[in-house]
Amino acid sequence: MNDRIKRVTAAFSAAVATIENDSQISMAGRPAGRIDGHLVGILIVSAVVLSFLEYYGASNHWQALSKPLGLFVDDPNAILNPIFRQGEYSRLARLAYWSATTFVGYLIVPVLYIKLVMRRSLLDFGFSLAGAFKHWWIYVGLYLLVMPAVYIVSHTESFQRTYPFYEFAQRSPFDFFAWQLVYAAQFLALEFFYRGFLIHGLKHRFGVYAILVSTIPYCMIHFGKPLPETLGAIIAGVALGGLALYTRTIWLGVAIHISVAVSMDALSLLNQGKI
């Protein structure tokens, strides 16, 4: 194991050096005073996406659907209220709205920019599975590293009040697994935006410091949560960013996020005696 850690450390250092060298070459080859259009575009798209999700992306923003729906029906609330307020699965529907807007903002919009404006392959932004298969043991190691702490805090009252976010997850297998699918979709989008679009989109200009650039907004989306969780997001942002940059794939981060989230929900319900 020590030999493997040494090899990975050396490989990571070499990858950092390569990324830094490529960034310097890219900067040296750019005419002085010329605007980096792709860099500007990525940052503007990111600011627009973050603004959109702040004002329309929360689960209680579902009423925003009434305006576009009003173009086709006279009374949009007659359709929306039974789904988001009165139905048996109204809470799940609201969370699905949150997941869907996150998916659109964090994944669909950047993908459209990459394909239509930058005309680049998504593989350049971390969608390749090759790195995930090659470095699968890193995922296992990180998961095993995190789980003892998750297990300990899962016994606390505050943890059990918070997780699962969908409070009816224990009602039936459908509720639990439907919620996990909703949850997983937004994790995929989140990882692509912060560890794919931002890091791989900015590394040509900022090198490895693109990790820190992407960590700033990732930390900020945790504002309003307990301070330890927000500070933990800084550590997670740097760790997952470094992993994405080294492996050139977002899929290990997606797998870690989903695995830990499912484990947190399951442990919370188990400790409450609900499963």
DSSP-assigned states of every residue in the chain: -HHHHHHHHHHHHHHHHHHHHHHHHHHHTSPTT---HHHHHHHHHHHHHHHHHHHH-SGGGGGGGHHHHTTT-S-THHHHHIIIIISTTHHHHHHHHHHHHHHIIIIIHHHHIIIIII---GGGGT--SHHHHHTHHHHHHHHHHHHHHHHHHTTSHHHHHHSSSSTTTTS-HHHHHHHHHHHHHHHHHHHIIIIIIIHHHHHHHHGGGHHHHHHHHHHHTTBTB-HHHHHHHHHHHHHHHHHHHHHS-SHHHHHHHHHHHHHHHHHHHHHTT--
- Residue 138 has a pLDDT of 82
CA distance 61 to 180: 21
- Residue 207 has a pLDDT of 87
Cα of first residue to Cα of last residue in the chain, in angstroms, is 37
Counting as low any pLDDT under 50, the low residues of the chain are none
- Residue 187 has a pLDDT of 96
What is the value of pTM for the model shown? 0.88
CA distance 134 to 96: 33
Question: What are the CA-CA distances from residue 132 to residues 22, 149, 176, 212, 226 (Å)?
Answer: 23, 25, 27, 22, 32
Q: Is the separation of the CB atoms in 49 and 106 below 8 Å?
A: yes
Domain that holds residue 105: 2-271
Residue 86, token pair as written in the block: 């009165």
- Residue 161 has a pLDDT of 87
- Total domains present in the chain: 1
- Residue 6 has a pLDDT of 67
